[in-house]
């Protein structure tokens, strides 16, 4: 009887445990179902607001429409987005996992979002989550509330005089760069990956402009080799590896998987990021030491004021070391990979259009930069540096109905009201290839920008600004108050490097398949851009 009593007691305890497990399981299932239903209602509500002839793809439970976005692979998201514009129109609903999103590429809606009502459209919350560790709260990711004071502080570093002073250094480096290109290509007998070569130079340039240091100097290269080994040979290559990993964070951001899964990619990112922070700290300490010795000397040894002089010294007292790190990483990101892609794609487009290539070479040798500038602006139209962007609505807003004649691809009838918290994305590559605003959008036609370049100041080039009456159809550097602060620096750098190459080299495409554009946060060529370069002996002589 004692044994049976013990057995009965065990059975009762087991039933009690099972009943609790059943209750907990039931609660979990109800909660999950409630979350799922709430999400479906949000998406359906947004979908109904945008309902028209084609309101966008239906989302799947949990993953939304991310599967559709990734159907062509991570590197082809910009192409998939362009296809969706053709299928569903210039405005359609989609879902980033659980988050309802709207994609709009109507130039009149973009004007409202980026120019006239920009305060209602803050930085994207999932971009901040994915980029947060890499860039921190620098000028790109900081919210609209703290942005204005920060931008005003750096404005002096991006004034015309300072950028033109920096050009003197860049001119010398560009000449040395062409010499190294010719040597690497064995004077035309071996193809050179122009994208990889330019990547090294542009990181060196933005490092000098931002921090006043040369990342190709011995201390920095020694630290790179000790930390990263043979995985990368220069800081430009290291930065590309960091961006490649960050793209995975952007697309799978809600899961914060990198906090748990320490894959090889995550470990490489962490090592590389720590290496960059050490380099930034070395520059900060060096500038602080110089200031302690001579408080009146706030800039570095170069003939221009680097951006570190805006952060360290009298004006920089408000910044902690962590804040300086964030700003430095932001400028290294914004001023490096984007400029690399512009230069590489521009040279490739010229090589594939021999008549235009000869025109560009002839004009730059005469000191006339107008045609080259047109080529750079047209390159940015065809290959915008950052093809996909997004915002998160901090306040409710409504896109007014656009007349069909003004935005023919807008299939959504009437005004569209969107609640606070809605994500709004836009595909710059789709805007730049809209045949309603760009006839023959797939054709390389630098003449599109002749009128703008002809009236632009001779010293520094800027991208066209649309007037209030014009559609916002060209935005390689964004638009409105938060337009890229480094726009003129980027265009100057691209102009100087392309000019140096075109003056001294005869170029032609290497044998093989043409480069394929892919998105690694920025618009790159998947396997590089390989060119044959032969020194022009007439110019050399």
Burial of 273 (0-12, 13-18, 19+ CB in 10 A): middle
CA distance 188 to 176: 17
Annotated binding site: 484
CA distance 197 to 202: 9
Contact, 473 vs 431, CB < 8 A? yes
Under 8 Å CB-to-CB from 539, ≥6 apart: which residues?
365, 503, 504
The first and second tokens of residue 82, run together, are 């362009």
Q: What is the largest CA-CA distance in the chain?
A: 112
Which one, of 50, 16, 9, lies nearest residue 422 by Cα?
50
Burial of 15 (0-12, 13-18, 19+ CB in 10 A): exposed
DSSP, residue by residue, 269-336: HHHHHHHHHHHHHHHHHHHHHHHHH-TT--S-SSSS--THHHHSSSGGGG--HHHHHHHHHHHHHHTT
How far is C-alpha 130 from the geometric centre of its chain's CA atoms?
Answer: 13
CA distance 533 to 391: 42
Query: How far from 72 is each of 359, 497, 525, CA to CA, in Å?
Result: 38, 34, 16
Annotated binding site for heme: 484
CA distance 89 to 76: 19
Contact, 223 vs 275, CB < 8 A? yes
């Amino acid at each position: 009887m004692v044994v049976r009593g013990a057995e009965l007691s065990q059975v009762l305890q087991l039933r009690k445990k099972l009943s609790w497990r059943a209750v907990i399981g039931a609660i979990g299932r109800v909660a999950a179902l409630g979350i799922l239903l709430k999400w479906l209602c949000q998406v359906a509500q947004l979908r109904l607001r945008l309902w028209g002839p084609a309101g966008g793809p239906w989302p799947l439970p949990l993953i939304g429409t991310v599967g559709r976005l990734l159907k062509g692979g991570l590197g082809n998201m910009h192409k998939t987005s362009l296809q969706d514009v053709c299928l569903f129109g210039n405005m359609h609903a989609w879902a980033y996992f659980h988050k309802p999103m709207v994609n709009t590429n109507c130039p009149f809606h973009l004007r409202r979002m980026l120019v006239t009502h920009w305060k209602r459209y803050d930085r994207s919350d999932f971009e901040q989550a994915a980029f947060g560790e890499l860039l921190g709260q620098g000028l790109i990711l900081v919210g609209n509330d703290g942005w204005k004071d920060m931008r005003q502080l750096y404005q002096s570093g991006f004034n015309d005089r300072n950028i033109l002073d920096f050009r003197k250094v860049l001119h010398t480096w560009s000449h040395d760069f062409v010499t190294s290109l010719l040597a690497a290509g064995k004077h035309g007998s071996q193809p050179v990956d122009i994208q990889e070569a330019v990547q090294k130079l542009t990181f060196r340039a933005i490092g000098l402009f931002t921090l006043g240091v040369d990342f190709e100097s011995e201390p920095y290269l020694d630290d790179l080799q000790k930390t990263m080994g043979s995985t990368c040979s220069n800081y430009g290559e290291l930065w590309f590896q960091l961006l490649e990993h960050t793209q995975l964070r952007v697309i799978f951001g809600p899961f914060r998987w990198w906090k748990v899964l320490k894959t090889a990619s995550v470990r490489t990112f962490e090592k590389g990021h720590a290496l960059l922070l050490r380099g930034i700290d070395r520059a900060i300490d060096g500038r602080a030491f110089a200031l302690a010795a001579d408080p009146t000397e706030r800039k570095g040894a170069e003939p221009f004021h680097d951006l570190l002089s805006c952060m360290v010294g009298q004006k920089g007292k408000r910044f902690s070391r962590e804040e300086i790190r964030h700003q430095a990483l932001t400028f290294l990101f914004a001023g490096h990979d984007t400029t690399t892609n512009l230069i590489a794609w521009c040279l490739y487009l010229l090589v594939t259009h021999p008549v235009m290539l000869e025109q560009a070479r002839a004009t730059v040798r005469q000191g006339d930069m107008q045609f080259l500038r047109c080529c750079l602006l047209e390159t940015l139209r065809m290959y915008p540096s950052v093809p996909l962007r997004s915002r998160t609505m901090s306040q409710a807003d409504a896109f007014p109905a656009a007349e069909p004649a003004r935005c023919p691809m807008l299939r959504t009838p009437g005004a569209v009201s969107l609640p606070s918290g809605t994500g709004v994305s836009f595909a710059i590559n789709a805007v730049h290839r809209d045949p309603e605003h760009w006839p023959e959008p797939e054709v390389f036609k630098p003449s599109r920008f002749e009128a703008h370049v002809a009236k632009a100041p001779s010293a520094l080039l800027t991208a066209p600004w649309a007037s209030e009456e014009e559609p916002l159809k060209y935005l390689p550097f964004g638009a409105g108050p938060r337009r890229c602060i480094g726009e003129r620096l980027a265009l100057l750098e691209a102009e100087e490097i392309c000019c140096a190459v075109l003056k001294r080299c005869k170029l032609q495409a290497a044998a093989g398949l043409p480069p394929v554009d892919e998105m690694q946060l920025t618009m790159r060529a998947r396997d590089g851009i390989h060119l044959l370069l032969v020194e022009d002996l007439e110019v050399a002589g």
